[in-house]
Structure 1
Amino acid sequence: MSRFVAIAAIVFICLAVILGGQQAQGAIARVKAANPDHPGKCVLGPNSVMSPGQTGKAPNHPCAGVECHGDGHATITTCAAVAPPKGCKLRDFVNTNRDFPACCERNYDCSKHI
């Protein structure tokens, strides 16, 4: 029985370390972005062709990150969901020209009692 307790304790500690270090994440999607004209690359639009391992901002989205993987697969990540401060409303992104995830910073409207 004590061996079971020791194993359970180790598993619990590992989970606590793993989950305790996690920060809020946005949505993550893995998409097939292959195009026969660009074998092995990710084609996200006419002006967005990425090589495997390359990262950048997703086209046609104000602030989302994209990473190209092999065989034309890409991972797209959006900003983490955040609650506005109490009594405030969430507004637009502060600066969508920044790289991801710096572009995730948001403006808040705290001028009215909500």
Structure 2
Amino acid sequence: MKRWLAEGYETSSPGGTFDSVSERFLDRHFSPSQRAALLRALKDTRGIRYRGNAEDRAGRVGAAFTVGSRYGGLPKEQTLLFDPRNGNLLAYEEEITDDGGKLNVKSPAVVLCITYL
């Protein structure tokens, strides 16, 4: 699963891994065993932090995992929110944590939010 997540990405950095997970869930349905394998692969991601329960923009509560990253060039925190009952991805967010550069935003600033319904 870890190799598959890295396919098509120039780096297997923590930020790249989180981005890949988000992208894969956009157009795929994962079986329970595939979701379990994905979560096991994420467990070994460098710098991953469990942030406790969080609510997504659709009002659902899930287990939040974050990594600090410069994936894509800017300092940010990437968050994956999973349903603790079945391992489905509920949401993915990227938040600029420092100077937003040419984006001209004050940090902290959410610059990407995907809600999986």
Structure ranking higher in helix proportion: 2
Q: What is the TM-score of this pair, normalised by structure 1? A: 0.24
Q: What is the TM-score of this pair, normalised by structure 2? A: 0.24
In terms of Rg, which structure is larger? 1
